[in-house]
Amino acid sequence: MLSVNFSLIVFMGCGVVVFCSTRKHILLSLLSLEFMVLSVYLLMFMVLLGFGYELYFSLIFLVFSVCEGALGLSILVSLVRSQGNDYLSSLSVLSW
């Protein structure tokens, strides 16, 4: 159980490193965020399963993570339609 939790924490760390190192495309940032959310979900699932709790909270977390992913993709599609690309450099906060 300890090695599984340690490996999930390492996966979470890898997701944070990729998220901090991607500076060009928004799609890569969204993919690394989804990777981190899945790592948190697996860690939470293992902890809830280990302590013998009900798994309804993990289902609610999974629903919210799917909604977050759909919202991120819709923002990405809106950005690509308005700007023509998904570069972070073309995104300006003042233009919105």
> Per-residue pLDDT tens for 54-89?
888 888 999 999 999 999 999 889 888 888 888 877
Overall number of domains in the chain: 1
Please provide residue 55's backbone torsions phi and psi, each rounded to the nearest 5 degrees: -100, 20
Q: Calculate the average pLDDT of the chain.
A: 82
Please provide residue 87's backbone torsions phi and psi, each rounded to the nearest 5 degrees: -75, 140
- Percent of the chain, pLDDT > 90? 14
- Percent of the chain, pLDDT > 70? 90
Say if residues 58 and 68 touch (Cβ distance below 8 Å): no
Indicate which CATH number applies to the domain containing 34: 1.10.287.3510
Beta strand ranges found along the chain (DSSP E): none
The whole domain housing 61 covers 2-95
What pTM did the predictor assign?
Answer: 0.78
Please provide residue 44's backbone torsions phi and psi, each rounded to the nearest 5 degrees: -65, -40
Token digits of residue 53: 């709790």
Identify which of 31, 22, 33 has the alpha carbon closest to the alpha carbon of residue 89: 22
